[in-house]
Amino acid sequence: MEVYLGIDVGSVTTKAVAVDGYGEIVASVTLKTRGQPARQVMEGLGVLGKALGPGAAVQGVGTTGSGRYLAYAIAGGDVVKNEITAHAVAALRVVPDVRTVLEIGGQDSKIILLRDGVVVDFAMNTVCAAGTGSFLDRQAERLGIPIGDLGDLAQRATRPVRIAGRCTVFAESDMIHHQQVGHAVEDIVAGLCQALVRNYLANLAKGKDLEPPYVFQGGVAANRGMVKAFEDALGAPVKVPTHHALMGAYGAALLAQEEHAARDGPTRFRGFGLADLDYRTRSFGCEGCTNRCEIVEILLDGTLVARWGGRCERWERASVRPA
């Protein structure tokens, strides 16, 4: 079976998928990044290889996410794209006439506007935790509720409370206040979902012309309370793809498939046995600006394959130059 791999390295999770020649996902893996993106890419590919079995022939590899250049170097990628492109390609595959993509991940969120299959505008929020998956995880833990139950609770609400969602500190203070005065947990959770949606739309959609069909992607899309809050705010149905949490990696795999069709030559994929190679790191201080970033170098069997850790992409781009 010929397959194409997509790898999405984020700050919270690292995801990898394999698609067949028809562009359908046949295997996937999700691992916590845990501050070790290189190691998780290697481990994830090992798991993916076992899931696919010995009959899989990799024809191309695409990478995306904040660690896309690192993943490109480690895995032996063929194409590297930003998250906007990858998510847009995946959304178009699922809903060909999509016009607005809503995406909320572990520590960031983004909105993408498409017209006739082309990205015409986008916005990202990487500086505020309000509205992200990490904030929802934190509040679920504080309430003593499994994160997977948050959506069901929100749907049972009868009178959602008003929560200030523009700041995580104020939102948490409001939640504590509503608990203390006796509001039902269901109403508090529903109010939280509504607050996060207001925050998302105020920060990312301000001044933008949002139009249906809407597609909601990212891990937070599993929360039915958030889906309902978006539908109430937008006044239209919101489509949640089956593989909503894997859409970045899925888009990267589809891009690898497109690249393979235009490429004259074999894939650069290093193989599924990366976890068995001698993996070492070393570091040095960059003096290119006042940030003084610590740059980590990745070596496989003694060969330098990537650099990681800069606040800009100076060293990542210097060590990895996509074809």
pLDDT surpasses 60 at 133:
yes
CATH of the domain at 130: 3.30.420.40
Q: Find out whether 135 and 114 touch, Cβ atoms under 8 Å.
A: no
Residue 281 lies in a domain: no
Do 18 and 47 lie in one domain? The reply is yes
Task: Please give the average per-residue pLDDT across 110-127, as a whole number.
Answer: 90
Note the pLDDT of residue 126.
60
Residue 323 binned pLDDT confidence (cut-offs 50, 70, 90): very low
Task: Please give the average per-residue pLDDT across 262-284, as a whole number.
Answer: 87
Task: Give the strand order in the sheet containing 238-239.
Answer: 118-125, 109-115, 100-104, 214-217, 238-239
Q: Which of residues 213, 240, 267 is at a domain's end?
A: 240
CB atoms within 10 A of CB 11: 17
Do 116 and 161 lie in one domain? The reply is yes
Do 231 and 136 lie in one domain? The reply is yes
Note the pLDDT of residue 251.
98
Note the pLDDT of residue 58.
96
Do 146 and 212 lie in one domain? The reply is yes
Domain membership of residue 211 as a residue range: 97-240
| CA gap 217, 94 in Å, rounded | 11
pLDDT surpasses 50 at 220:
yes
Task: Please give the average per-residue pLDDT across 284-309, as a whole number.
Answer: 86
Judged by phi (left if over 0) then psi (alpha if -120 to 50, else beta), residue 136 lies in alpha
Amino acid at 301: D
Question: Considering only 34-48, 90-104, 164-178, 275-289, which range has the smallest mean pLDDT?
Answer: 164-178
Residue 90 binned pLDDT confidence (cut-offs 50, 70, 90): very high
What's the pTM value of the predicted model, to 2 decimals? 0.85
Note the pLDDT of residue 122.
95
185-207 pLDDT, tens per residue? 888 888 888 888 888 888 888 88
Note the pLDDT of residue 130.
59
Do 118 and 229 lie in one domain? The reply is yes
Q: Which of residues 214, 240, 266 is at a domain's end?
A: 240
Residue 174 lies in a domain: yes
Note the pLDDT of residue 245.
93
- DSSP-derived letter for residue 149 is G
Residue 24 lies in a domain: yes
Residue 307 lies in a domain: no
Q: Find out whether 92 and 114 touch, Cβ atoms under 8 Å.
A: yes
Note the pLDDT of residue 168.
61
Q: What is 190-233 written as a DSSP string? A: HHHHHHHHHHHHHHHSTT----SSEEEESGGGG-HHHHHHHHHH
Q: Which residues of 301-316 are buried (b: 16+ CB within 10 A; e: fewer)?
A: eeeebbbbbbeeeebb
Q: Find out whether 156 and 187 touch, Cβ atoms under 8 Å.
A: no
Note the pLDDT of residue 170.
65
Residue 301 binned pLDDT confidence (cut-offs 50, 70, 90): confident
pLDDT surpasses 70 at 180:
no
For residue 314, the surrounding DSSP H or E stretch is helix 314-319
